[in-house]
Amino acid sequence: MTTSRYRRVVLKLSGEAFADESIHFGIDAVVVARIAQEVADARRDLGVEVAIVVGGGNIFRGMMGATRGMDRARADYMGMLATVINALALQDALEAVGQPTRVQTAITMAQVAEPYIPLRALRHLEKDRVVIFAAGTGNPYFTTDTTAALRAAEIGAEAILKGTHSGVDGIYSADPRLDPTAEKFTEISHFEVLNRRLDVMDSTAITFCLDNDLPIIVFDVTEPGNIRRALVGDPIGTLVTTGANHE
């Protein structure tokens, strides 16, 4: 029987992964359903506990609002609310395939989700429920990448699965869509990601993962089956670990 390399993980999904590809906006129900099925299958077949952090960039991105003259904190709160919409869409898709799910939000909205309480999240995971963390950290100026790192540490996750959506299947020395000579790293350290200023997660999140010895698997989540492959240790994407050296 195939088993997961990890007992508990945090899957980080950008809001753009949910978007309708034709307009790069909104929610594509087919895409969300496919991701939900993969998560449910992995939870059932591999016995891994899965928590998910979702972004909101397919609906509203705080930085985008700030560059247009909005108050940065207010724009970030709007972005947090966008993540809740995505979380509820993913919850609906997971429940539709028989996977019990809870949404926990960092901003209290009791009519649609539970407040984020770490011990309650752990209890849900132990009861084979998927927990979706929404509304970021509840604070402006922090990205959902940082949320993923923070929540992973709080619940004792053994790895963060960072799903990309742009056709880039890992970490490269440069953007492979623009530079055909870009080198793909199969394994790299957190420190080198920071030192090279590689566009993986924001520096706050990478530093937090470094300080807490949290490995990150960066992979293309739009490729069907990749969530399972990442969990069982297939050589896809890029592994970011504390002591890695790509040389």
75 within 8 A of 63, measured Cβ to Cβ = yes
CA distance linking residue 52 with residue 54, whole number of Å? 6
Lowest mean pLDDT among 30-34, 102-106, 213-217, 239-243: 239-243
Tell me the three state secondary structure of residue 211.
helix
- Top-confidence residue, 132 or 175: 132
What mean pLDDT comes out for the span 109-124? 97
At residue 247 the predicted structure's pLDDT band, cuts being 50, 70 and 90, is very low
Tell me the three state secondary structure of residue 240.
strand
Tell me the three state secondary structure of residue 101.
strand
CA distance linking residue 96 with residue 8, whole number of Å? 23
What mean pLDDT comes out for the span 174-180? 88
Question: Average pLDDT over the chain, rounded to whole?
Answer: 93
Q: What's the pTM?
A: 0.94
What mean pLDDT comes out for the span 13-31? 88
Distances (CA, A) of 63 to 76, 150, 201, 205, 219: 7, 20, 15, 17, 24
* Digit-coded pLDDT (tens) for 24-67: 789 999 999 999 999 999 999 999 999 999 999 999 876 776 67
User: Locate tokens 């999904």: which residue?
Assistant: 13
| pLDDT surpassing 70 at residue 244 | no
What mean pLDDT comes out for the span 143-149? 97
72 within 8 A of 62, measured Cβ to Cβ = yes
Using alpha carbons, select from 245, 138, 143, 140 the residue that is nearest to residue 203. 143
pLDDT at 1: 59
| pLDDT surpassing 60 at residue 246 | no
CA distance linking residue 33 with residue 28, whole number of Å? 9
